[in-house]
Amino acid sequence: MDAFQELSDWLADWQGGTRADGEATRADVSATILAMAQACREISRLIETGPLAGAPDDGGHAAVVGENAGGDQQKALDLRAHDIVIEALKTAPVAVVGSEEADEPILLSEDAAIAVAVDPLDGSSNIDVNMSIGTIFSLLPHAAGKPQASLLRPGTEQLAAGYAIYGPMTELVLTLGSGTHVFVLDRHGHFRLTGSDLAIDPRTSEFAINASNYRHWDEAIRAYIDDCLSGAEGSRGRDFNMRWIGSLVAEASRILTRGGVFLYPGDQRRGYGEGRLRLVYEANPIALLIEQAGGAASTGAGRILDLVPDNLHQRVPLVFGSRGEVERVEHYTTDPHSIGDRSPLFGRRGLFRA
């Protein structure tokens, strides 16, 4: 393999004309990935310019311009990124696109082989503070005449999944269903392979959760976090570190690089019973990337990739990362006795509780 092989060459090597799942050929998958890479390149360039992309008083990329189907604020960059992705996918064999920024699926070419689910700009609360944000995508086989159903397949049927992260480097993290690989955008606009077959350490001492929601979580999640916070003196017998960036792609990149566990559980807040993240265009692609790197992705009660979505914008509780930690959360969630049995601290109040 060439050092720093270019994405198009890498895909050409993979291609070879054999069929992927369903009716889509590897050529269809490759062409769609290259179109997404083109969109990510454009979005990356746009982000780099920050406020310089517009007029001094137009509010920049972070200006609030509307609300999406899920009730989230839409920033100017959300919509710009959505438009860039749609234009790029028109050049690929894509039948339909399900985007976070559009209430309904967008039909492109009825006879084409691929359906794409996409979050064009993930982590948009980080735009104006110059922190990492991204684009997440999932490729599914398109069933002729069934654009909606094509997008509502379980994550196990994904042909490919990936995200771009716009951070100090722009990276494209990709799986075609066999291994998870990283490409870095160079100064000439080429994505070049910098890491193959990532492997997440099954054990970790780092967790990521929005701890401000502690009082809204159920007992199992509180117990898991209490145990991490108890550190060397608690049932885990070692100290844990915490990180929370508020950007799913940034948390995923950290976990793919050095292990860790991410949790966005359901909680008691209105509208958060199923957490915050979207199954079809956030949890499923991240879950495939994580599993292909040896990690696990769960609702806390079962595997993300086995869920059959019932709507494009459905939310799902998401726990992913180092396999041992994800299994521990599942254990606490699915077996109430495990919380009581877990430590001599049982019966004491949690560390955040009075």
Which positions touch ligand F6P (CB under 6 A)?
Answer: 122-123, 125, 210, 246-248, 276-277, 282
Residue whose beta carbon is closest to ligand F6P? 248
The residue assigned the tokens 């960036």 is 245
As measured in angstroms, the least distance from the Cβ of 85 to ligand F6P is 16
Active site annotation includes 78: yes
Active site annotation includes 34: no
Residues whose CB is less than 8 angstroms from the CB of residue 45 and which lie 6 or more positions away in sequence, other chains included: none
Active site annotation includes 233: no
Active site annotation includes 9: no
Active site annotation includes 251: no
Residues whose CB is less than 8 angstroms from the CB of residue 96 and which lie 6 or more positions away in sequence, other chains included: 105, 106, 107, 108, 115, 116, 142, 147, 148, 150, 151
Active site annotation includes 119: yes
Residues 285, 160 contacting (CB under 8 angstroms): no
> How many residues make up the chain in this entry?
354
Among residues 327, 218, 199, the alpha carbon closest in space to that of 275 is found at: 218
Q: Which is nearer to ligand F6P, 122 or 206 (CB)?
A: 122
Active site annotation includes 122: yes
Please tell me which residue in 21, 72, 218, 327 is annotated as part of the active site: 72
Please tell me which residue in 28, 206, 251, 282 is annotated as part of the active site: 282
Please tell me which residue in 100, 206, 226, 251 is annotated as part of the active site: 100
Q: Which is nearer to ligand F6P, 127 or 228 (CB)?
A: 127
As measured in angstroms, the least distance from the Cβ of 124 to ligand F6P is 7
Q: Which is nearer to ligand F6P, 171 or 282 (CB)?
A: 282
Q: Which is nearer to ligand F6P, 181 or 276 (CB)?
A: 276
Please tell me which residue in 11, 77, 122, 226 is annotated as part of the active site: 122
Q: What distances in angstroms separate CA 87 from CA 59, 97, 101, 123, 279, one per listed residue?
A: 24, 11, 14, 22, 24
Please tell me which residue in 101, 206, 227, 291 is annotated as part of the active site: 101
Integer Cα distance of 173 and 195 in angstroms: 9
Integer Cα distance of 226 and 306 in angstroms: 29
Active site annotation includes 79: no
Helix (H) or strand (E) holding 182: strand 181-185
As measured in angstroms, the least distance from the Cβ of 190 to ligand F6P is 27
Residues whose CB is less than 8 angstroms from the CB of residue 204 and which lie 6 or more positions away in sequence, other chains included: 259, 260, 261, 321, 322, 324, 325
As measured in angstroms, the least distance from the Cβ of 205 to ligand F6P is 21
As measured in angstroms, the least distance from the Cβ of 125 to ligand F6P is 6
Q: Which is nearer to ligand F6P, 31 or 252 (CB)?
A: 252
Q: What is the dihedral angle through the alpha carbons of 190, 117, 243, 276, rounded to the nearest 10 degrees?
A: 160
* Residues classed as catalytic: 72, 78, 100-101, 119, 121-122, 282
